[in-house]
Amino acid sequence: MTATVIAIDGPSGVGKSSVSKETARRLGFGYLDTGAMYRAMAWLAHQRGVGDPGDVVELVRGAELEISTDPDAFAIEVDGIDVTDDIRDPEVAQFVQTVSAVPEARSELIERQREIIAAASPGIVVEGRDITTVVAPQAPVRILMTADEAVRIARRAAELHGAADAAHVDSTRAQISDRDARDAQTTNFTTAADGVVTLDTTHIGFDESVAAVLELIGDRT
């Protein structure tokens, strides 16, 4: 039986990771964080001092990448090294473009993502930046999560620092804006493509966002 695929895209701080995980839990589905795969490859490239696009492609092709699809036990390994915590280091985020901006490296990771999706049962929630348009454009449920930039920055500040006061918001703003600007050069995650439902979470919380996603899934599957 073909797995049910739920594709969710969106910019930084919109809440797509937490909402995607909870949706997967509620449905008994797997969960795939595609951004973690790019971060893992960026971590490896940084560790090995690889920056040339051709070398990056070879690095990605030769790497053994293992990622958990259990929403309650996320883990990721590269060449047998557990990098689950390492890829969340803000420094790693600065190197993601080293991988994501190289078309052949993207293609390699997209194929791996599709293999994981194809092996999923009974379904999988996949989140990232180009899932609805590139990785799984035929998914029965495709959602673009959005929110006002100020709200996204405050949410990410609270996530990273435990508070959304002025100082933490200011320190987070550049990180969010810079990452979105870099990623916008290779993917469109701000405008919904045809057939993709936009879910604006500016004025709704986590529980309401999950409920909205589950309702969309119920309507379309």
Integer Cα distance of 39 and 6 in angstroms? 22
Q: Which 3 state secondary structure label does DSSP give 69?
A: coil
The yes-or-no answer to whether 1-11+130-216 and 30-119 have a common fold is yes
CB 15 within 8 A of CB 144: no
**Annotated binding-site positions for ATP:** 10-18
Please state, rounded to an integer, the average pLDDT across all residues of the chain.
89
Element holding 206 (H helix, E strand): helix 206-220
**Annotated binding-site positions:** 10-18
Which pLDDT tens digit goes with each residue over 45-93?
Answer: 999 999 999 999 999 999 999 999 999 999 999 999 999 999 988 888 8
Which pLDDT tens digit goes with each residue over 6-58?
Answer: 999 998 888 899 999 999 999 999 999 999 999 999 999 999 999 999 999 99
Q: Which superfamily is assigned to 30-119 in CATH?
A: P-loop containing nucleotide triphosphate hydrolases (3.40.50.300)
Within 21-115, strands assigned E span 30-33, 65-67, 76-78, 81-82
Phi, psi of 55 (to 5 degrees): -70, -35
User: Looking at domain 1-11+130-216, which CATH architecture does it have?
Assistant: 3-Layer(aba) Sandwich (3.40)
Domain residue ranges in the chain: 1-11+130-216, 30-119
